[in-house]
Structure 1
Amino acid sequence: MTEPLIISVRTSASPSAALKALTDSQAVTTWLAEKADIDLPRRYAFWGPSIPEGDGPHQELMSATDSTITFKWLLDGEQTTTEIAIGVEDAETRVTVTQSHFDFNDVITGASIRGVLQSFWALSLANLVDYLDGRPLTTRGDFTTSDLDAEVDIDAPAAQVYDSLISSQKVSEWFGYPVEIEPHIDGRFAMGGIDNNPHPAIIVDLVPERRVSINWGPGGISTWELADSDGKTRLTLVSSGFDQGNPPYAAWLGLLAGLAELRRYHEIPEWEPITVAA
């Protein structure tokens, strides 16, 4: 049995607003899934292309209170358990997902769809927070396609957005994990730092204020394109060079979750990360 995955996010919304966003079918189809069937205390189900194995509702509600929703979720033949809890800490609302049956090895190997759960919930909770804040949402994943093509408009000049994609300090801030970058073609992009990463990604294309391409190895090449858009910067993310028969969905969802945080990093005064250390 693996240790449970725990992801907690902060929001300025009230606990009651967070509860409504989690339990209203229309709200859930805005920030989480294409379809939802919610009728507490009997049903809590969601499905669609943006949901792992989302061909139909595979959830079974176990319990629901004013602060916690717990359901079984059948994924890759395993009956997992998901708990979504609302609380208040340090005078701010926290939403915490506790998810069973997550194994980080599945992220690396792609052996089970459960390997996407960490980045799936990171992106979903980022969209929940933006929904509660009345902000535009980030593109959700699509498990029915082998293409990744996402756009976000960031209210900041292209030069600033570009710098936040190639500066080790700034990427480490908004990504929430130490990253060391050599900002030139053939430069290393090392998660955890160059000394701690014997197999870093490599920058394969770099056009100042316009484009950054990173080769992740078997995970393919991710390209960020920047363009002016009505005084904002339009950032387009595409992926190529991966195994079409086994798309790196976990990594893609992680990149999309990163885009959500990157936009907030530039747009929110006195920014702080959405995610709270568990």
Structure 2
Amino acid sequence: MTEPMIIRARIPAPADQVRRALTDPAAMRIWLAEHVEVEVPERFGFWGRTTPEGDAPHQRLLHVDERTVRFAWLLDGEETTTELTVEADGADRTILTLSQTHWDFEDVVTGKSIRGVLQTYWCQVLTNLAEHFEGRPLTPMQDYTSTEMRVEMEVGASPSEVFESITSSEAVTKWFGYLIEIEPRVGGRLAMGGFDNNPDPAKVLELEPDRKFAVDWGAAGVGTWELAGSGGKTRLTLVQSGFDEARPPFAAWGGFLSGFAELRRYLEVPDWQPVIMA
């Protein structure tokens, strides 16, 4: 078995409030899932369209205390273990650490197991938790029952600012939290990990300043950002097309959506810091 996946997130709230949000059904229905049934220690379940294999609750509570919530989660026939631990980072901020077993990057690449979505799923969820405490509108979560990926959000910045933020290597690397290099021209390369480390980069298909940016990701399909703005704000639409509908690239989509959330925060939040820590 591979080592557990670890994700650390900055949550802008005191540790006791964050800990309560991990088991409070009303809060969990906002930041975690469509449907929640939690009554500690007897019941702990969540499910719905935005939960992997969310046809029914497949979780079982293992441990809960003032710092930690640990539960078993049956996914693709394997019982995985998820643990969330809170640690105060000053009076008004918390570092939340998530540990997830039974995640393998090979499942991301091949799509053979729903467990391949877990990394990007949890990045979406933890960013939602941060935005819940900030009182910000949450970015839509991935719908694991749909073969369509389209999301629209209003961004508090001009189209030129948004366009620069999605086409500049330096800007994208900042808000996405991972080295990305872009040649901002039609036919140019977009390389996750940088040009020197990616032998198979994506390709820029369309580039209309302040209006449109489309990238061919190969098997994951074509991602298109469309911008329309007025009054210093931008309606930003992200659409993914041209993929194998029998095997939608849910892991990649989750990455786009968690990135979308951080892009908005990067442009809107004073003294911005990314939620997901490197």
Q: Secondary structure at the match of 1:13?
A: coil
Q: Quote the residue 2:223 is aligned against.
A: 222
Q: Quote the residue 2:4 is aligned against.
A: 4
Q: Deviations over 1:53-75 (max 9, x none)?
A: 00000000001111110000000
Instruction: Provide the C-alpha distance between the structure 2 equivalents of 1:26 and 1:224, rounded to a whole number of angstroms.
Output: 33
Q: Quote the residue 2:64 is aligned against.
A: 64
Letter in 2 for 1:25: P
> Displacement, 1:20?
2.4
Letter in 1 for 2:5: L
| Mapping of residues 142-221 of structure 1, within 5 Å | 142-221=143-222
What TM-score does the superposition give when structure 2 sets the normalisation length?
0.97
Instruction: Provide the C-alpha distance between the structure 1 equivalents of 2:21 and 2:68, rounded to a whole number of angstroms.
Output: 13
Q: Quote the residue 1:264 is aligned against.
A: 265
Letter in 2 for 1:143: Y
Q: Secondary structure at the match of 2:56?
A: coil
Q: Secondary structure at the match of 2:128?
A: helix
Matched, 1:238 2:263: no
Instruction: Provide the C-alpha distance between the structure 2 equivalents of 1:276 and 1:202, rounded to a whole number of angstroms.
Output: 28
Q: Quote the residue 2:130 is aligned against.
A: 129
Q: Quote the residue 2:37 is aligned against.
A: 37
Q: Deviations over 1:115-166 (max 9, x none)?
A: 0000000000000000011111000111111000111211111100000100
Percent identity over the alignment is 51
> Displacement, 1:229?
5.3
Instruction: Provide the C-alpha distance between the structure 2 equivalents of 1:149 and 1:94, rounded to a whole number of angstroms.
Output: 31
Q: Which moved more, 1:225-234 or 1:199-208?
A: 225-234
Moved over 2 A (4+): 89-92
Unaligned runs of 5+ in 1: none
Instruction: Provide the C-alpha distance between the structure 1 equivalents of 2:17 and 2:96, rounded to a whole number of angstroms.
Output: 11
Report if aligned partners of 1:154, 1:234 keep a CA contact under 8 Å in 2. yes
Q: Quote the residue 1:87 is aligned against.
A: 87
Instruction: Provide the C-alpha distance between the structure 1 equivalents of 2:144 and 2:106, rounded to a whole number of angstroms.
Output: 20
Note the aligned Cα RMSD (angstroms): 1.1
Instruction: Provide the C-alpha distance between the structure 1 equivalents of 2:233 and 2:20, rounded to a whole number of angstroms.
Output: 32
> Displacement, 1:232?
1.3
> Displacement, 1:273?
1.1
Q: Secondary structure at the match of 1:275?
A: coil
Q: Which moved more, 1:167-176 or 1:227-236?
A: 227-236
Q: Secondary structure at the match of 1:151?
A: strand
> Displacement, 1:102?
0.3
Unaligned runs of 5+ in 2: none
**Pairs aligned (count):** 277
Letter in 1 for 2:42: R
Q: Secondary structure at the match of 2:102?
A: coil
> Displacement, 1:89?
3.5
Q: Secondary structure at the match of 1:86?
A: strand
Q: Secondary structure at the match of 1:195?
A: coil
Report if aligned partners of 2:3, 2:101 keep a CA contact under 8 Å in 1. yes
> Displacement, 1:195?
1.6
Instruction: Provide the C-alpha distance between the structure 2 equivalents of 1:119 and 1:26, rounded to a whole number of angstroms.
Output: 24
Letter in 1 for 2:262: E
Q: Secondary structure at the match of 1:276?
A: coil
> Displacement, 1:8?
0.9
Q: Deviations over 1:56-98 (max 9, x none)?
A: 0000000111111000000000000000111123663111110
Report if aligned partners of 2:36, 2:46 keep a CA contact under 8 Å in 1. yes
Instruction: Provide the C-alpha distance between the structure 1 equivalents of 2:224 and 2:69, rounded to a whole number of angstroms.
Output: 38
Q: Quote the residue 1:97 is aligned against.
A: 98
Q: Quote the residue 1:275 is aligned against.
A: 276
Letter in 1 for 2:129: L
Q: Quote the residue 1:110 is aligned against.
A: 111
Q: Quote the residue 1:78 is aligned against.
A: 78
